[in-house]
Structure 1
């Protein structure tokens, strides 16, 4: 989620992720961690829209309903919808892990 949050902040970053899907390899030097996203996730958990599981997070039934209600308005989040549609399920956890595993903590 942090990677997608980082990408949403610029068209160039979004293009990098779309290219990664096409080339089947993610080539970004790093992406940022946004504390605001962590707070938003905690709020979504508190509201029952998202739940934690053994691998991360999953959307709840209430969260699915909420998302479907938002998606009914085609005028909302047009740029974001287009980007996420272009990426689809082509950006895999393996691609993300392979990129992040090359980073060193100093």
Structure 2
């Protein structure tokens, strides 16, 4: 009779679900693509969702040029809130009910990640957008949700 043997092995965690990956990615949004290094959580959710797929990235570039976001909605990822909570606990951001702001410590953290060339693709994309995706553009879409 044949027998089966199972060996428990560690499973890898997708980068998108690693807190440090998500924290760094969102802090780069604050540093490179946000006015005054601050943003609403909904806007950060938009960037989180867009950075996952090239087609979404291209669509957001078109939205930046037209000054109108043409996503009717986007995914709201609970890992964003977790990442922001951890970042705030470490002093990388300050958060209020409406706004997340990058601190000096967070800015230094981002500069270090950029120096190490860990997020070159994301950084290049965010630099190309600059601050063209505004809170007003995001608010216009969110108003339609209610």
Out of 25, 29, 40, the residue aligned to residue 68 of structure 2 is 25
Write the distance in 2 (CA, Å) between the matches of 1:60 and 1:92.
20
Unaligned segments of structure 2, at least 5 residues: 1-43
Deviations 1:51-70 (A, max 9, x none): 11464111112111111111
Contact 2:69 2:141 in 1 (8 A): yes
TM-score normalised to the size of structure 2?
0.66
The reply on whether 1:82 has 2:124 as its aligned counterpart is yes
Partner Cα separation in structure 1 for residue 92 and residue 68 of structure 2: 31
* Aligned twin of 1:95: 137
Using the TM superposition, give the Cα deviation of residue 20 of structure 1 relative to its aligned residue in structure 2, in angstroms: 0.5
Larger % of helix: which?
A: 2
Match of 2:94 in 1: 51
Larger radius of gyration: 2
Question: How well do the aligned residues superpose, as a CA RMSD in angstroms?
Answer: 1.3
The number of equivalent residue pairs is 103
Per the TM alignment, residue 31 of structure 1 is displaced from its structure 2 partner at its CA by: 0.5
If asked which structure has higher relative contact order (CA below 8 Å, sep 6+), I would say 2
Where 1:101 maps in the other structure, the secondary structure is helix
